[in-house]
Amino acid sequence: MKKLTNYILGITLCIASAQCKKDFLDATSPSNVDDNFVTSTPSETFKTLAWCYANYRQNCIMGVYRWNDPIGSDAEMYPEESSSNNMNAILRSDLLPINAVAGGFDNLYTTLARAAKVANVIAAKPEYQADAAAGKPTEWTHLYGEAMTIKALCYFDLVKHFGDVPYGYENSYVVDYSLTSRFAIYDSLIAALKNVEPLMFKIGEGGITAERLSRTYCNALIGQLALFSGGFQTIRTDVSNLYGSVTFTKKGAEMYGCVYARRTDYLDYYRTAEQYLQAAIDNKGSSGLITSDGRAYANNPFQRHFQYFADLQVSPESLFEIGNIQAGQQATSSEYPYAFGRPSDGGSNNAAPAKVFAAIRIIPSFYYSEFENGDKRRDASVTVTGSKGDGNEMILSFKPGNKNTGGIATNKWDDNRMNPPYVTAQRNSGMNWTMLRMADVILMLAEVKAELGKDGEAITLVNQIRQRAFGNATHNVSGISGDALKEAILQERKLELVGEGTRRWDLIRSGKFPEKALAVRQEMTTMINNLRTKGYHTFANGNEISNYIWTKMVQLTNPLTFDVADSTNPALYPGWRGQFNYSTIDAIKSKVVGTNHNLAIEGLFKYIDPASAKAISLQSSGFVRTPWGIDIVNSATSYDRNILSGITSPTDPPRYYWPIPFETISKSKGQVTNGYGLPQS
């Protein structure tokens, strides 16, 4: 059996051939050479660092659907009946085997060790030392900062997902190691990044795009580290003196050797977060919030960010996005659009479009009740239809499952929006995905401002996002402060970032996880009871979900749809759906079925009595009564399990951590254990 050191200590500075940046995919890497050679020039050094990006993309971040981040909140859920993939998402990691994510854990350490090794070798170079002394960013100073930022990002992932972990042992042979307090890790990472960020390039400088880590992203990462250190989180109470002199304000009961808490000096960390989140905005370089849409066919600046991915371009709103490449010998696994995109029942290859599993499903009560009228984010974020895989649109089903079963889904990554769609094979679309974008930074800064009592500044930041969402200032926030403002910001983040893996952390950090979990569970129970007894449920905003809707296949001149103001047109409303015209792609046009490729939907937001004259008229004009909410009623047990069922009372500490793998525990001489009631063997 290998020791912990086999994946924490740095391997010699030799590089595998995998590369993650599109600009460098044609580069070859040295395979058996010394440190001096691989750092002989900045370009050779980046080949080394590119391995870290590639390993992070392929073997770290997508472990078990990106750590379940986007499928365990009061807005997002997992679609399958009883899959173990979402045990962590429903807060029951105690039911998982100890090595459930050993691969991701090990590869995060491998990646950060390689990055640390690169940084150490660069730091010893006279060229770097001279450039650093001059105090201006150069290729060498940027590469050093980039390596240190990769290291910090990996440790951030480890702390978020595993809690207190071994720290600082990379590139050393160790046989005696222990847990380090997460708060000490945060402090160390913040201090290290503060030293390197002034000598890094902003996005757009020195050839740096959002597919590489920049000063812009480094500033934001410092802000995130400080925000997470100062926010509520579940801490261990079963390891004596683990947190040293840090004191806490606790919420709820102590259970499973843990408690939900926030450090008492949290405002100091919020002040650091304020400084560096603002620095990310000030040092945005060529990045920034997209506020206008130059497309002739659409006017939705929010959706424009996601269209860049479908166009295989880097979005100017991204501070960091995971780079992919389409097809060929150097194709990467475009896992995120496959795992979290708009669903498709297509086959694994040569389909119209190919299969999209779609592991994120949107909780129906959120979709129906929380978007305001006129919010351009709703339809661009959430879809009620998917693709059959034969060139036709189809209604999604609330029956548990995947692809076109499992419920309404995210709409931010849609193969149909590519021009043309990549149809040769699933998982190979080449679409990037965002790790952090400017809207997220702006709203985190608003969160911090509100916590620090700077209500006016917080409101101004929130309204930047709302004005983009609605296209005008008529929906601006005003006249609120204190807890009401904090709740408004939390809600705005939910609407803006749904499906992007932030809501779960927002709820944890805010201290509201148990209450929000219980609230959505109760809301769903009420909805299901009304569907069962009345056939429909009416939400506070007037929207209604019904047991049945009416659907009909129709022909549109342009089968891809966009924003639509006319909510009475059942073929266009809701917007941002439809199908690409797959008959224009020679390789698969023979697989396209029929000529009516679009789905018209009646009764989606207003109940239609199946015995009414309207229902009879719809059926006489070719509409078919289609199961909708009734499938939720018939699967109520599954929905109850899959929506945060690990929270059973307001005093429960949320247990959202993965188990530290067995080998790390078994070789630690008793100094590393799993907390939170997670398995030890």
Residue 625 is which amino acid?
R
Q: Give the helix/strand (H/E) hosting 629.
A: helix 629-634
Q: How far apart are CA 203 and CA 99, in angstroms?
A: 38
Helix (H, G, I), strand (E, B) or coil at 590: helix
Give the pLDDT confidence score for residue 15 in this predicted structure.
Answer: 28
Q: What residues pair up with 321 in beta bridges, in sequence order? A: 434
Q: What residues pair up with 601 in beta bridges, in sequence order? A: 551
Q: Which residues of the chain have pLDDT under 70?
A: 1-34, 37, 63-66, 328-331
Q: How far apart are CA 65 and CA 336, in angstroms?
A: 8
CA distances 180 to 166, 185, 354, 492, 537, Å, are: 5, 7, 45, 35, 50
Q: How far apart are CA 376 and CA 564, in angstroms?
A: 10
* Tens of pLDDT, residues 250-281: 999 999 999 999 999 999 999 999 999 999 99
Neighbours of 652 (CB within 10 A): 20
- Taking each helix axis from N to C end, the angle separating 301-310 and 455-470, rounded to the nearest 10 degrees, works out to 70
Helix (H, G, I), strand (E, B) or coil at 354: coil
Residue 448 is which amino acid?
V
The alpha carbon dihedral of 82, 99, 165, 63 has a sign of: negative
Backbone φ/ψ region at 168: left (φ over 0), alpha (ψ -120 to 50), beta = left
Show the tokens assigned to 115: 């990055």
Q: Return the DSSP state at 43.
A: H
- Taking each helix axis from N to C end, the angle separating 215-230 and 182-196, rounded to the nearest 10 degrees, works out to 160
Greatest extent of the chain over all pairs of C-alpha atoms, in Å: 84
Of 670, 660, 665, which is closest to residue 101 (Cα–Cα)?
660
Non-local CB neighbours of 658 within 8 Å, separated by 6+ positions: 64, 67, 88, 93, 96, 100, 101, 104, 105, 161, 162, 678
Task: Give backbone dihedrals phi and psi of 94, rounded to 5 degrees, phi first.
Answer: -65, -20
Give the pLDDT confidence score for residue 30 in this predicted structure.
Answer: 36
* 361-362 β-sheet, strand order: 76-77, 361-362, 409-410, 382-383
Q: How far apart are CA 73 and CA 644, in angstroms?
A: 7
Q: How far apart are CA 485 and CA 462, in angstroms?
A: 10
Q: How far apart are CA 391 and CA 210, in angstroms?
A: 34
Residue 276 is which amino acid?
Y
pTM of the prediction?
0.94
Give the pLDDT confidence score for residue 266 in this predicted structure.
Answer: 98
- Residue 612, Cβ density class (10 Å: 0-12 exposed, 13-18 middle, ≥19 buried): exposed
Task: Give backbone dihedrals phi and psi of 251, rounded to 5 degrees, phi first.
Answer: -125, 135
The alpha carbon dihedral of 202, 22, 325, 149 has a sign of: negative
Q: What residues pair up with 624 in beta bridges, in sequence order? A: 551
Show the tokens assigned to 401: 């499952």
Non-local CB neighbours of 33 within 8 Å, separated by 6+ positions: 14
Contact 131, 74 (CB under 8 A): no
Q: How far apart are CA 59 and CA 106, in angstroms?
A: 9
Show the tokens assigned to 395: 């209604």
* Tens of pLDDT, residues 437-480: 999 999 999 999 999 999 999 999 999 999 999 999 999 999 99
Q: How far apart are CA 227 and CA 22, in angstroms?
A: 32
Report, in this order, helix, strand and coil percent for the chain, each rounded to 5. 40, 10, 45
Q: How far apart are CA 389 and CA 393, in angstroms?
A: 8
Q: Give the helix/strand (H/E) hosting 484.
A: helix 482-497
Alpha helices in 231-359 (DSSP H): 266-282, 301-310, 335-340
Q: How far apart are CA 5 and CA 474, in angstroms?
A: 58
- Residue 464, Cβ density class (10 Å: 0-12 exposed, 13-18 middle, ≥19 buried): middle
CA distances 591 to 304, 392, 427, 644, Å, are: 30, 11, 20, 41
Q: How far apart are CA 187 and CA 159, in angstroms?
A: 12
Q: How far apart are CA 553 and CA 174, in angstroms?
A: 65
Give the pLDDT confidence score for residue 173 in this predicted structure.
Answer: 86
Of 385, 425, 379, 429, which is closest to residue 405 (Cα–Cα)?
385
Show the tokens assigned to 190: 């913040």
Residue 278 is which amino acid?
Q
Q: What residues pair up with 260 in beta bridges, in sequence order? A: 234, 251
Neighbours of 333 (CB within 10 A): 13
* Tens of pLDDT, residues 37-89: 677 899 999 998 999 999 999 899 876 666 789 999 999 999 999 888 899 99
